[in-house]
Amino acid sequence: MGVRSAVEPPRSGQSAIAQWRRRHFPQLLISPSLLIILGVLIIPIIYSLVVSFAWLNPADRSLDFVGLDNYQAMLTDQSYRKSMALTVLFTVITVILEMTLGIAIAMVLNRPFKGRGFLRGLMILPWALPGVVNAILWKWIFNANYGPLNAALFQLGVIDQYKVWLGEPVSAFGAIVIASLWKETPYVILLTIAALATIPKDLYESAEIDGAGPWKAFWRITLPMIRPVVLVLLITKTIWTVQTYDLIYIMTAGGPQNATQFITLLVQRTAFKYQNFGTAAAMSYSVSMLCFFLTYLYIKVFMRGDDWSGKVKQSKGLRPKPVRR
Amino acid sequence: MKKHQLIAGAVGLALALSLSACGGGDKPSTSTGDKITVLLPAHEMDNIGFNEQATRDFTAETGIEVELIYMGWDNVADRVIADLTAGGGSYDVIEFDNAWVAKFYENDWLEPLDSYISEEMRSGLLQGLLETFSSDGKLYGIPWNNDTRFFMYNAAILQASGFSKPPETWEQLEEMSLKLKADGLPYGYMDAYPALQSGANEVTAMVYSFGGELFDADGQPVMGTDPKTKAAFEFMVKSLNDTKIADPASLTADYETVENVFISGDTAFFIQAWPGVFQSANDPTLSLIVDQIAVADVALHANGAEQVVLTLPEAMAIPKTSKNKAAAWQYIEYMSGRDLDKERALAIGSLPLWQDLYTDTDLTTKYPYWANFSGQIAHARALPSLTYYDEYANILMEEAHMMFAKTKTVEKGLADLQERCEALAGKYTN
């Protein structure tokens, strides 16, 4: 509707072709992009949905429909259940820590101090690094024989012998969380700083006059004002965290004891190593459903009373509240 | 005498890798294509870019442009299988690993090479290697890397602790390692047990060296009931946790790390070393143990078991989807040709692919220690040939890591492994 309103209305006396062209000119302009999206996104999505109900023969790529067998196989597969549980655990821990750390650091970097610009630039560096480089870097840091972490802890007397950080399930999982935090938290910081810059200073001045301390000002002013950005961050970080692949592929390859075999790695292995494309497609759809569900949940919780057209209504949720003494 | 033993060893390798023989055929007419794409893992001994230079020379000689894509083995595996499954035809020459033979044959992905290979090449290459890459009487791959492992050790470290010769059995290795540790060495040995196929390779070699079997002759899993397999796992668990003669970092170490630790002088034994380790250990720019490494005459084994070393040869193959098969074959023929094989061996110390090069005086003069390989090479064994090898390797390492961490007992771990393998075998049979 918005597109049509931007085009001039048909004038009397114009031919039907000219009128049609004038009316559909915007659609014509976007049709190449639509065709590309159709080719690289829509068709593969539909095809993978079809494959999830079939057995794809790797030899001749023929499809043999098997109904819900792939979904049944997926649900009874202990590797799938373990991978999904690990993925959810990793996502919950990582997103909570990223958001908490990211907002806290952004609050600090939002205050004026000497060297703030330099520090802000420095904070972005991990995020700017390619994922593969980040993974190799952290694999080296956690290396059992030559890693700087072992050397530092040993020198400080924290450990009495070098530890195989990536060789034990809990520490390997923790190492992946740390590597992910280091890479992804700067993105939260960046967007939060941008959101914080839009909050009028007089709100804080009024709050201070009313006797509110920093903690109260954060909960009553800052958080409600940056809420839309927090929501976008929660949604994108959740989806990206569920999709974590390069980090685990390089750092642990899913080990030890498959304690870091998250769902993306399992889907890749099921499809391209085990040639079980039907089950892999079913697993992919379960991941999509998980992302969809979490996104829906975030929107329901965080945007209670808000209008998605862009106008923010007065809500009973997290919105600027008067500060009481 | 040693040279003759080496020939005998090479022949032994051929016999050990007993698969069906190949048939013959007429050679098709060769018409060079303009460009081919080659996807291979880097040769573990090629630190000087020998194969890249050889590829450039090939282009200069034939006019065939080659896009050579080198990457890590696991990345190559992912790319190759994804492309073949999708019928993409992105590559004209691909890596063909010894563990993939059953799967690739089952899926009919490769062009049989019987009509391409010359009689000279067929009879000149090591027969065991050709047989490894054959299935149902047809040849599907031409070896480009004779990756066979040998037991090596640091003679200086052993001598300093009063040992004049290396261990032959695991029991002797344990005893000697404990003495070396008492004398200040961090660990007796390090092995590579990561959650990758390299980990499965090493675990398999250990089982073989205890006389154990993971699968019977019909490909049925037997690891849960085989007492020798159990003994092998018990030894690994004990070495990592109790006697601590094995570096616990073995759980995550790759082959390069094992080599680095060994040439740094932090371990005394290299259980499954590739030939290039000998050169690296004697390279003063890389190593702290120059002139200390030695090759054992006998590979490690349990009391009463046969000595065993692992062979992991790699071949080049032509996917059926290739549009430049003739040019692809020219490249394979060039890269695995006798002259280049000798040049490569002289340049980087790789084991030859051609039988007669084991008696070539240029090579035996440059690499006198090859003579020591002869005692071990005759006992080379390959990995199990399974359609579901990739999936099996993953669950093998998952269960092995649980046993190593003592999350499961060896008995329970092997029983679970067998049960999961039986379920897998059933899935692939149906």
- A146-183 burial: b if 16+ Cβ within 10 Å, else e: ebebbeeeeeeeeeeebbbbbbbbebbbebbbbbbbbb
Share of chain B above pLDDT 90, in %: 68
pLDDT for the residue A223: 92
Give the pLDDT confidence score for residue B375 in this predicted structure: 77
The token pair that represents B124 in the structure block: 């000149």
Say yes or no: A136 and A24 in one domain. no
A322 within some domain = no
- Contact call for residues A323 and A216 (beta carbons, < 8 A): yes
For residue A55, the tally of other CB atoms under 10 A from its CB is 16
A100 — phi, psi (to 5°)?
-65, -50
- Residue B200 C-alpha, separation from nearest chain A C-alpha, in angstroms: 13
Fill in the amino acid letter for A143: N
For residues A136 and B102, give the distance between their C-alpha atoms in angstroms, rounded to a whole number. 33
Do the Cβ atoms of B248 and A167 come within 8 Å?
yes
Using the beta-carbon criterion (under 8 Å), do B401 and A255 form an inter-chain contact?
A: yes
Q: Tell me if B313 sits within 8 A of B145, measured CB to CB.
A: yes
| A58, A167, A272 ranked by CB distance to B251: nearest | A167
Contact B85 A61 (CB under 8 A): yes
Residues of chain A with Cβ-Cβ distance to B108 below 8 Å are 59
Distance of CA A34 to the CA centre of its chain: 25
Q: Are B126 and B14 in contact (CB under 8 A)?
A: yes
Q: How far, CA to CA in Å, does A114 sit from each of A109, A119, A120, A214?
A: 11, 9, 11, 21
For chain A, the domain total comes to: 2
* Phi/psi at B186 (5° precision): -60, -50
* Residue B94 exposure: Cα atoms within 13 Å on the Cβ side: 29
pLDDT computed for residue B376 by the predictor: 84
Answering whether pTM is above 0.90, one says no
Residues A76 and A44 in one domain: no
Count of all residues that appear for chain B in the document: 430
Burial of A307 (0-12, 13-18, 19+ CB in 10 A): exposed
One domain for residues A237 and A151: yes
pLDDT at position B4 is 54
pLDDT per residue as tens digits for the range B102-152: 889 988 999 999 999 999 999 999 888 898 899 999 999 999 999 899 999
Q: Is A268 on the interface with B (CB under 8 A)?
A: yes
Instruction: Report how far residue B207's alpha carbon sits from residue B173's, in angstroms, rounded to the nearest whole number.
Output: 16
Same domain, yes or no, for A17 and A117?
no
Residue A191: inside a domain, yes or no? Answer: yes
Q: A169: which chain B residues are within 8 Å (Cβ-Cβ)?
A: 405
ipTM value: 0.79
Q: How far is B120 from chain A (nearest CA, A)?
A: 33
Q: What is the pLDDT of residue A10?
A: 52
- DSSP run (H or E) holding B70: strand B65-71
With a CB cutoff of 8 Å and minimum separation 6, the contacts of B93 are B36, B37, B38, B39, B40, B316, B317, B318, B322, B328, B331, B332
- A281 and A171 share one domain: yes
Say whether A58 and B85 touch across the interface (CB within 8 A): yes
The answer to whether residue A317 sits within a structural domain is no
Q: And the tokens for A151?
A: 């050397």
Residue of B107, B196, B261 with shortest CB distance to A59: B107
* pLDDT for residue A196: 94
Q: What is the pLDDT of residues B318-373, one digit of tens each?
A: 999 999 999 999 999 999 999 999 999 999 888 999 989 988 999 999 988 888 88
Q: Which residues of A touch B74 (CB under 8 A)?
A: 253
Q: Is the pLDDT of residue B12 over 50?
A: no
A window 44-63, beta carbon within 8 A of B:
58-59, 61
Residue A242 C-beta-side C-alpha neighbours within 13 Å: 21
Output the pLDDT for position B29: 42
Strand pairing partners for B319? Answer: B110
Domain co-membership, A22 together with A141: no
CA distance B116 to B331: 12
Q: Which residues pair with A55 in a beta bridge?
A: A64
Residues 303-322 of B with CB under 8 A from A: none
Q: Quick one: A144 and A251 in the same domain? A: yes
CA–CA distance, B245 with B188 (Å, rounded to integer): 5
Three-state SS letters, B118-183: CHHHHHHECHHHHHHCEECCEECCEEEECCECEEEEEHHHHHHCCCCCCCCEHHHHHHHHHHHHHC
Stretch 140-169 of chain A: residues touching chain B, C-beta under 8 Å? 143-146, 162, 164, 166-169
Range with lowest mean pLDDT among B6-20, B31-45, B270-284: B6-20
Interatomic CA distance for residues A22 and A19, integer angstroms: 5
Residue B284 in contact with residue B290, Cβ under 8 Å? yes
B236-250 pLDDT tens trace: 999 999 999 999 999
A255 has a chain B CB within 8 A of its CB? yes
Dihedral over alpha carbons A142, A145, A151, A154 (to 10 degrees):
110
**Is A256 in the B-facing interface, judged by CB distances under 8 Å?**
yes
What is the average per-residue pLDDT within B200-222? 94
Within chain A, which residues score under 70 in pLDDT?
A: 1-14, 305-325
Quick one: angle between helices A277-302 and A78-110, nearest 10? 40
Is residue A312 within 8 A of residue A295, CB to CB? The reply is: no
A245 touches B at CB < 8 Å: no
Q: Among all residues of chain A, which has the CA nearest to that of B107?
A: A59
A143 vs B contacts (CB less than 8 Å): 257
Instruction: Report yes or no: A320 at the B interface, CB cutoff 8 Å.
Output: no
Indicate yes or no: CB of B252 within 8 angstroms of CB of A167: yes
Which residues in chain A have their CB less than 8 angstroms from residue B84's CB? 58
A281: Cβ contacts below 8 Å, ≥ 6 apart? A48, A49, A51, A52, A70, A271
Both A97 and A129 in one domain: the answer is: yes
Radius of gyration of chain B (CA): 21
CA angle (A236 as vertex; A230, A242 as ends), nearest 5: 130
A146–chain B nearest CA distance, Å: 9
Q: Computed from CA positions of residues B334, B339, B343, B349, in that sequence, does the dihedral angle turn out positive or negative?
A: positive
Q: Tell whether A100 is covered by a domain.
A: yes
- Cβ–Cβ < 8 Å for B155, B292: yes
Look at A254 and B87 and tell me if their CB atoms are within 8 Å.
no
DSSP three-state, residue A10: coil
Which of A291, A188, A198 lies closest to A232 in space, CA to CA?
A: A188
Query: In chain A, what residues touch B391 (CB-CB under 8 Å)?
Result: 269, 273-274
Let me know whether A138 and A93 are in one domain. yes
- Write the CB contacts of A22 (distance below 8 Å, at least 6 apart in sequence): A7, A8, A10, A14
Which residues on chain A are in Cβ contact (under 8 Å) with B194? 253, 255
Q: Does the pLDDT at position B216 exceed 50?
A: yes
Residue ranges of E strands in B257-353:
269-273, 293-295, 309-310, 314-317
What pLDDT, on the 0 to 100 scale, is given for residue B252? 94
- Which tens digits make up the pLDDT trace of B20-36? 333 333 444 444 558 99
Q: Is residue A321 part of a domain?
A: no
Chain B neighbors of A254, CB-CB under 8 A = 195, 394
Average pLDDT, chain B: 89
What does the pLDDT read at residue B257? 92
- Of A87, A50, A116, whose CA–CA distance to A240 is shortest? A87
Q: Which of A253, A263, A260 is nearest to A288 (CA)?
A: A263
**B136 half-sphere exposure, CB direction, 13 A CA radius:** 8
Give a yes or no: residue A63 inside a domain: no
pLDDT of residue A159: 93
B230 touches B240 (CB < 8 A): no
Interface residue B423 vs chain A (CB under 8 A): no
- DSSP class per residue in A19-70: HHHHHHHHHHHHHHHHHHHIIIIIHHHHHHHHHTTEEEPTTT--EEE-TTHH
Which two tokens mark B144?
Answer: 């480009």
In a domain? residue A65: no
Question: Cα dist. B165→A188, B158, B180, B268 in Å?
Answer: 61, 8, 14, 12
Q: Do the Cβ atoms of A252 and B257 come within 8 Å?
A: no
- Helix, strand and coil content of chain B, in percent to the nearest 5, comes to 50, 15, 40
Contact between chains at A255 and B85 (C-beta distance less than 8 A): no
Distance of alpha carbon B142 from alpha carbon B145, whole angstroms: 9
DSSP readout, A243-297? T--HHHHHHTTT-STTTT--HHHHHHIIIIIT--HHHHHHHHHHHHHHHHHHHHH
Higher pLDDT, B17 or A199: A199
Judgement on whether residues A165 and A37 belong to the same structural domain of the protein? no
Note whether residue A59 is domain-resident.
no
Indicate whether A76 and A31 sit together in one domain: no
Distance (Å, whole) CA B16 – CA B137: 17
The confidence score (pLDDT) of residue A306 equals: 59
Please tell me whether residues A29 and A91 are part of one structural domain.
Answer: no
Q: Considering CB atoms only, which of B394, B401, B407 is closest to A269? A: B394
CATH number at A173 reads 1.10.3720.10
- Both tokens of B261, joined, read 């630790």
Q: What is the nearest CA distance from B251 to chain A, expressed in angstroms?
A: 5
Chain A residues close to B81, C-beta within 8 Å: 272-273, 275
Q: Which domains does chain B have, with CATH numbers?
A: 2-147+314-381 (3.40.190.10), 150-310 (3.40.190.10)
**Residue B291: left (phi > 0), alpha (psi -120 to 50), or beta?**
left
CA within 13 Å, CB half, A110 = 20
Mean pLDDT of chain A: 87
Chain A to chain B Cβ contacts (< 8 Å): 88
CA distance B417 to B288: 41
Tell me how far apart the alpha carbons of residues A65 and B371 are, in angstroms, rounded to a whole number. 58
- 8 Å CB contact of B109 and A59: yes
Question: Which of B394, B397, B416, B430 is most worth mutating to test chain A (most A CB atoms within 10 A of its CB)?
Answer: B394
How far CA B118 is from CA of A173, B124, B161, B271, B313, in Å, comes to 53, 10, 54, 37, 21
Answer whether B336's CB lies under 8 Å from B342's CB: no
Residue reference for tokens 């790390």: B257
Question: In which domain, by residue range, is A11 found?
Answer: 2-51
pLDDT at A257: 92
**Do B391 and A273 count as a contact with CB atoms less than 8 A apart?**
yes
Residue showing tokens 């690289």: A40
> Would you state the pLDDT for residue A4?
47
Q: What is the C-alpha separation between A306 and B335, in angstroms, rounded?
A: 67
